[in-house]
Amino acid sequence: MKEQKNHYIKRFISYYKPHWKLFLIDMVCAVLICLIDLAFPYATRVILNDLLPNQQYRYFFLLMAVITVCYVLRALCQYFVDYWGHLLGVRMEADIRKELFCHLQKQSFTFFDQTRTGQIMSRLINDLFEIVELAHHGPEDIFISLIMLIGSFTALFVIQWKLALVLLCMVPITVVFIVKKRTNMGQASRKLKEKTGNINSALESSISGIRVAKAFANEDYELEKFLEDNNEYRNSKNGFYKAMGTFHAGVETLACFFGFFVLLVGGLLIMNKNMTVVDMLAANLYVASFLQPVRRLGNFVELFEGGMAGFKRFVELMNVEPDITDKEGAKELKNVKGDVTFSHVTFSYEDAEEGEKEVLSDINLTVSAGKTIGIVGPSGGGKTTLCHLIPRFYEVSEGNITIDGINIKDVTLASLRENVGIVQQDVFLFPGTIRENILYGNVNASEEEMIKAAKEAMLHDFIMSLPQKYDTIVGERGIRLSGGQKQRISIARILLKNPPILILDEATSALDNETEAKIQQSFARLAKGRTTFVIAHRLSTIKDADEIIVIDHEGIKETGTHEELLKTSDIYQRLYYGTERSKL
């Protein structure tokens, strides 16, 4: 446990390395502030004990001038600590968030299937906020506290060693209290972090599904679910603040007794003429300086527990290794013709309730370059999963997939996915402009190329009818557009990418019959010379495919052309006539 804790601390410290110059200047400024604060009580003692009683007014005004310069310097140092010190934390936060985001980008579909978006957002935002607070204030609090404690105690020992002993006796009691209560705060903080992730997930789910909730008049049900998560979050907050309140109340009480005992002992010393009133005044100023780091350490404990709890959650996420990565020595996939072969491919995944669940079993399929393959079968039969194995969104459990005879595991993921284009049934649009969403297919495309793609997707005339034309904002997930319009944008996007291998996953499902017919013509032109996989429930969309495969979770049941399967396949007949009747 101790080794693991040290590992977290070492890893946390490593993020200071790129910004060590700024950190060093920040610490120097903090030290100067401490030294100036420590010098003032001693200067006060010198003025009251020596300069004023002996009428050394010249030195008095000279010392006051020095104090003025020191305070100006202190103000500049304080500005640097408050401004640049916080920027140090912000830069570290940006580095950590960048590292986490890049790590998330490497994760496969499986990771996102199993991890809620709200939990990820909580770690990217809430946890990192507390991490950056610790990054900025943590070293300052420790460094300043140590200097102030040692400096105050040393000065007090010089003024009156008996008062210093009083403080020294109180220190162990304070340390024991802080260490004991710190554990309680750490546990409460970790629990709060978990509940914060839960409440974020609940909010993300409820807001994303608000239209469905309204459509089913289930607002009260959603409210009930939210209140349950909200109450758990509130209770965890109660536990955290209870631990924090106990901690701070104890620290403040101990701080009060520091002053009480110094005043009591100091009064006795004055009564016995072992101490002057001026020394007592200076001693009290140093006691105040001594108490400041005690309180600062109390705040540091709160920062440390919150920040380290967030950092541990960050490390946990960073330790989740991507299950799909480039193998060592992976090469670029270039000059793709489009021959795709499935050889004894099996795919299964781990289900939390059912254990390992098999989706595809022993798939053998050879698709020649430029051919169009229709894929049909019952819902949940693995049609989409089969196609998602080609760009390695999921990893095959057994067997191999090759493109032009090259195992897809032997090429880089980036080059593989550059050569595979997907139009999905569930269209996702970014909440920017139509232009941005189309250009996502090829961010370096020209205006002419973008417009050509829009025209081929039967979209250009509609765009030109809008007031802002291509600069029209589509809204969150394209909410300002109809289903057909969103689908056509996704089609324009893939047309602009222009890949040698196409996967059309119910690509025209949201279109009316007239527009669908026109889009099919565009797809027919696009598919020429390209290997195309068409997943379809409307079987009329794949009537002209070079080959159609009927698939379920047990594997490929039948293959053939549309006419052949209508004559020989009972499954295909049921699927075909069922979908045709549903269109009537």
- Sketch out the chain's domains with CATH numbers: 2-193+245-318 (1.20.1560.10), 421-498 (3.40.50.300)
DSSP string of 377-392, one letter each residue: -STTSSHHHHHHTTTT
Q: Distance (Å, rounded) from C-alpha 33 to C-alpha 73? A: 8
Q: Cα 556 from chain centroid? A: 40
Helix or strand holding residue 461 (H, E):
helix 460-464
Say what angle helices 161-208 and 219-271 make with each other, to 10 degrees.
170
Contact 504, 532 (CB under 8 A): yes
Q: Which residues of the chain have pLDDT under 70?
A: 1-6, 118, 179, 181-190, 193-194, 196-219, 221-222, 248, 295, 298-299, 302, 351-355, 476-478, 483, 507-516, 518-519, 521-523, 525-526, 538, 540, 578-584
Q: Structure tokens of 44? A: 């006060």
Residue among 545, 481, 496, 542 at smallest CA distance from 516? 542
DSSP 8-class letter at 511: S
Q: Which residues lie across from 348 on neighbouring strands? A: 358
Q: Distance (Å, rounded) from C-alpha 89 to C-alpha 306? A: 15
CA distances 395 to 322, 401, 519, 554, Å, are 11, 10, 32, 18
pLDDT at position 459 is 82
Q: Distance (Å, rounded) from C-alpha 202 to C-alpha 208? A: 10
CA distances 439 to 420, 476, 568, Å, are 17, 18, 44
Q: pLDDT per residue over 219-271, tens digit each?
A: 676 677 777 777 777 777 777 777 777 776 777 777 777 777 777 777 888 88
Q: Distance (Å, rounded) from C-alpha 45 to C-alpha 284? A: 11
HSE-CB of 551 using CA atoms within 13 angstroms: 29
DSSP string of 411-443, one letter each residue: B-HHHHHHTEEEE-SS----SSBHHHHHHTT-T
Contact 389, 467 (CB under 8 A): no
Q: Which residues lie across from 433 on neighbouring strands? A: 473
Write the CB contacts of 409 (distance below 8 Å, at least 6 apart in sequence): 327, 392, 400
Write the CB contacts of 321 (distance below 8 Å, at least 6 apart in sequence): none
Contact 441, 382 (CB under 8 A): no
Q: To the nearest 10°, the Cα dihedral for 149, 155, 159, 163?
A: 10
Sign of CA dihedral 144, 146, 152, 158: negative
DSSP string of 64-93, one letter each residue: HHHHHHHHHHHHHHHHHHHHHHHHHHHHHH
Q: Which residues lie across from 549 on neighbouring strands? A: 375, 559
pLDDT at position 72 is 92
pLDDT at position 73 is 92
Q: What's the angle, vertex CA 266, arms to CA 262 and CA 268, rounded to 5?
A: 125
**Confidence (pTM):** 0.67
Query: What is the SS3 assignment for 109-150?
Result: HHHHHHCCHHHHHHHHHHHHHHHHHHHHHHHHHHHHHHHHHH
* Rama region for 160: left / alpha / beta (φ>0; ψ in -120 to 50; rest): beta
Write the CB contacts of 286 (distance below 8 Å, at least 6 apart in sequence): 41, 152, 155, 156, 159
Buried b (16+ CB within 10 A) or exposed e, 572-584: beebbeebeeeee
Write the CB contacts of 161 (distance below 8 Å, at least 6 apart in sequence): none
Q: To the nearest 10°, the Cα dihedral for 163, 167, 170, 174?
A: 160
